[in-house]
Each structure stands twice: as structure tokens, then as C-alpha cells.
């Protein structure tokens, strides 16, 4: 071992392993496709609480994935260490919307494909996925489910309210029935015949019906 070998730095040898042009091109494309993913997320979001920070996360994930894969592809030894380092990472944030998982995976996949040098695949694939999401997620169903909650004071009011409800909706399925000293509470899943919801007003005017509530929901019922 010579004197120069002692001060020889493997770290400095890796400085030029990835060219400046490759870094700028890959990270620039990752940012552009990340913004496109963010745009698609905004257009297809159908939840209650929109989170702008999640959209920014999609852009950051695409760029971070590109950064990591660029480092991994430039050094085989580093790739093995990176696998071990990333294997200990754990995320505790719950994903409330199933579609959010698709956007997260999309951002990560774009970063990986770009860093691997498959630019046409990343661009064409992202455009195709975006078009599919815009077409299918934003397509409104003509048979949206609704929940109707009816509070009745007695059995006769319950019978009359149920008959009236069935006359004004396309389909009705009872989900739960609660009987207490204060009265009877009914939960119906219904499909409307049209956008007209005046039948709810008519229900509240019937004798023995205390109140009626119409709520739109996504089809999941916890009872």
C-alpha cells in the first residue's frame, strides 16, 4: 500500500458515475411527468377532503424514485446496500381512498422507468394511464346509490313511509332497523329514478314520520 492509496477516496470516484446531462434530463422528465400525474389526480379526485400535499407528494415521489434508481444503476455494490437500507423503511399513514394507491404506485413506477433510461415507455405509459383514469373515474354512473334514513313514531307510520318510498325510487333495500322507546329508525339503500328528490319532502309530511334524510354514499355500508 502506497501513501497515495491511503488518501484514495472511493467517494470521489463515484462523483462522475452519472453524468450531469443524464441527471438533469432524468430529473426534469420526472418533474414533468409528476406534474402530469398531479393534474390527473386533481381532475379525478372524488373524495370529500382534497389534500394538496398529497398531490405534491406525487411529484416528489417521481423525482425521488428517479434519484434512487440513478444511483443504484451506476454502482452494483451500492444497489445491494440500497436494498438493505430501504427494506427498513415503514410507512404508517393510512390510505383512505383506494385510488390513491394507484397514484402512489404510478409515481414510483415513472421514476424507476425514467432512471432505467426507458423514456418512451415512461412518457407513453403515463399518457395512456392518465387518459384511462380520466375516462373511467370521471364517468358518472346513472345508478348512484343513496341512503335514506326515516324516523317514524309508530308501526303504521313505518308501513306508510315504506310504501311511499318504494313508489318513488327504482330500487330499495333495507339495511337496518332500530326500534326504541322514541320510535323506529329505518335505513334504506335506494336507487333514484331521476334527479328529483321531492319525495323526501313528501315523506316528512306524512303523519307519524318525524324526519327523513337522503344521503349519497359510495356503496360501502358499515352496520
The pLDDT score that the predictor gives to residue 36 is 95
Domains and CATH numbers, the chain: 3-137 (no CATH), 145-216 (3.30.70.60)
Above 70 in pLDDT, residue 41? yes
pLDDT digits (tens, 9 = 90+) for 143-192: 678 888 999 988 888 888 888 888 888 888 888 888 888 888 989 888 88
pLDDT digits (tens, 9 = 90+) for 102-150: 898 999 899 889 888 888 999 999 999 999 998 888 665 556 788 889 9
Reduced to 3 states (helix: H, G, I; strand: E, B; else coil), residue 151 is: strand
The pLDDT score that the predictor gives to residue 39 is 93
Above 80 in pLDDT, residue 209? yes
Reduced to 3 states (helix: H, G, I; strand: E, B; else coil), residue 4 is: helix
Q: How far apart are the first and last CA of the chain?
A: 74
What is the average per-residue pLDDT within 80-93? 58
210 Cβ contact partners less than 8 Å away, ≥ 6 residues apart: 151, 152, 153, 183
Report the sign of the C-alpha dihedral through residues 70, 74, 80, 82, in that order. Answer: negative
The pLDDT score that the predictor gives to residue 89 is 57
Mean pLDDT of the chain: 79
12 burial (CB, 10 Å; 0-12 / 13-18 / 19+) is exposed
The pLDDT score that the predictor gives to residue 170 is 85
Neighbours of 108 (CB within 10 A): 18
The pLDDT score that the predictor gives to residue 159 is 87
What is the average per-residue pLDDT within 64-82? 72
CA distance 88 to 204: 58
Amino acid at each position: 500500500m502506497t501513501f497515495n492509496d491511503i488518501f484514495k477516496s472511493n467517494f470521489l470516484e463515484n462523483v462522475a458515475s452519472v453524468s450531469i446531462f443524464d441527471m438533469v434530463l432524468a430529473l426534469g422528465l420526472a418533474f414533468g411527468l409528476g406534474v402530469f400525474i398531479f393534474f390527473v389526480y386533481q381532475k379525478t379526485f372524488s373524495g370529500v377532503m382534497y389534500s394538496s400535499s398529497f398531490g405534491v407528494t406525487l411529484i416528489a415521489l417521481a423525482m425521488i424514485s428517479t434519484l434512487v434508481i440513478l444511483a443504484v444503476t451506476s454502482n452494483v455494490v451500492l444497489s445491494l446496500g440500497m436494498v438493505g437500507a430501504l427494506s427498513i423503511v415503514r410507512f404508517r399513514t393510512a390510505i383512505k381512498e383506494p385510488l390513491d394507491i394507484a397514484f402512489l404506485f404510478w409515481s414510483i413506477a415513472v421514476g424507476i422507468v425514467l432512471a432505467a433510461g426507458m423514456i418512451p415507455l415512461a412518457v407513453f405509459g403515463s399518457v395512456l394511464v392518465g387518459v384511462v383514469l380520466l375516462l373511467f373515474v370521471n364517468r358518472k354512473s346513472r345508478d348512484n346509490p343513496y341512503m335514506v334514513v326515516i324516523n317514524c313514531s309508530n308501526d303504521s307510520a313505518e308501513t306508510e313511509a315504506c310504501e311511499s318510498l318504494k313508489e318513488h325510487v327504482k330500487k330499495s333495500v333495507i339495511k337496518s332497523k332500530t326500534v326504541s322507546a322514541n320510535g323506529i329508525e329505518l335505513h334504506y339503500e335506494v336507487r333514484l329514478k331521476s334527479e328529483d328528490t321531492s319525495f323526501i319532502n313528501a315523506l316528512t309530511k306524512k303523519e307519524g314520520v318525524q324526519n327523513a334524510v337522503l344521503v349519497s354514499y359510495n356503496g360501502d355500508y358499515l352496520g
